[in-house]
Amino acid sequence: MCSSSLLHDAVKNLATDVVTRELSRDNNNQVIGLGSGSTVAVIVREMAKLPNKKTLEFVAASLQIKREAEKSGLKLVDENRIPDIDIVFDGADQIDSKFCMIKGGGGALLKEKILISAAKKVVILADSNKFVEAFSRSIPIEVHPFARSIVGIKLENTGGIPKLRTIEKDYPFITENGNIVLDTTFTSLADVQKKELELKGIAGVLEVGLFTRRADVYYKAKSNGSFEIIKF
């Protein structure tokens, strides 16, 4: 069996285990935040099997996951329930040795950060290759279109190399919030928290794909079909 199939099996096994551990049948009347991405979609499909799913309420960070939750028969609620979120499930694009994260590869970073900031407990699920010693990919930065040029210049002044995210025919990628994304590369990120605050201080920046809140639990899917649990 190829490693990609084993990794898929690991994610499926991981999703089943996460739902069993984190959402037992005794945990009724919870409000659950759902991030975005393929791993969260697998989690949602596992949640559909819960015998007590009708007692749970869900807030989704993206239309992709909202549609998946609808198909799975989960009860979706609006943003008024965000302050009551008990637990949020999400993935990550990279996780460094200090367990800071880069997120936003799918463009849902703004809503994902809102859910994570509100949740009493954060659970992150990611492939083992997403765990790195130091970040080695660009940072998604959501920007208001009106500020595209000036934010690009200011990102360069902070040592970044911004690149407008595009889709087919070179059209700009537009987030569900109507904004653009500047995927920005930095030669070094010695202080991730300081850089997050610095970038968020630029007028026109709506959100930064640096997530410095450490999750309570990380589920690490390995290429041999197994997974590891890291708790704090």
Taking only the tens place, the pLDDT of each residue in 98-145 is 999 999 999 999 999 999 999 999 999 998 999 999 999 999 999 999
Annotated active-site positions, please? 112
CA-based nearest residue to 33, from 133, 134, 108, 132:
108
Give the burial class of 201: count Cβ atoms within 10 A of its Cβ; 0-12 exposed, 13-18 middle, 19 or more buried.
Answer: exposed
pLDDT tens for 7-35 read 566 677 777 888 888 876 567 789 999 99
pLDDT tens for 34-80 read 999 988 998 999 899 888 899 999 999 999 999 999 999 999 999 99
Question: Parallel, antiparallel, or unpaired: how do β-strands 180-186 and 217-221 relate?
Answer: unpaired
Q: What number of CA atoms fall less than 13 Å from residue 73's CA on the CB side?
A: 10
Domain 139-209 is in which class? alpha beta
Helices (H), the chain: 3-22, 38-47, 63-71, 109-118, 148-157, 192-200
Q: Which CATH architecture has domain 3-132+212-231?
A: 3-Layer(aba) Sandwich (3.40)
Sheet with strand 205-208: strands edge to edge: 160-164, 180-186, 139-143, 205-208
Provide the pLDDT confidence category of residue 1 given band limits of 50, 70 and 90. Answer: very low
Domain extent listing, the chain: 3-132+212-231, 139-209
